[in-house]
Amino acid sequence: MIQFIDFLKKRGREIRYLLYGTMAAIVVWSMTVDTSHAHTWAEKYIPGFWALFGLVSCTVLIFFARWLASAGIEREEDFYDD
């Protein structure tokens, strides 16, 4: 297993392309899935809605967390030590 991870680590570019390929395949497949039971308009008519939602969510959370940290809650690790 360790050798396998070493092998993967050397091939960052190939893995990235593989990931892009998987993403594309997932989005293409999602367009064929029956959306008649979906709850909102957006899910039915925007292709790849959840892909977009996932990317936006993740980005929003990262930037919000960093903004909150820089807004004053981030302190040195010894803050509570006397």
Min dist. Cβ of residue 45 to another protein (A): 14
Q: Return the number of the residue (45 or 68) whose C-beta is nearest another protein.
A: 68
Min dist. Cβ of residue 12 to another protein (A): 10
Structure-derived torsion over alpha carbons of residues 6, 12, 16, 18, reported in degrees to the nearest 10: -50
Min dist. Cβ of residue 61 to another protein (A): 4
Task: Tell me how far CA of residue 51 lies from CA of 6, 23, 43, 60, 75, in angstroms.
Answer: 30, 9, 11, 14, 35
Tokens 């997932």, residue located: 26
Q: Return the number of the residue (11 or 61) whose C-beta is nearest another protein.
A: 61
Both tokens of 24, joined, read 């594309």
Positions that interact with another protein (CB under 8 A): 1-2, 5, 9, 16, 19, 22-23, 26-27, 29-30, 33-35, 37-40, 48-55, 57-66, 68-69, 72-77, 79-80
| Cβ contact 27:54 at 8 Å | no
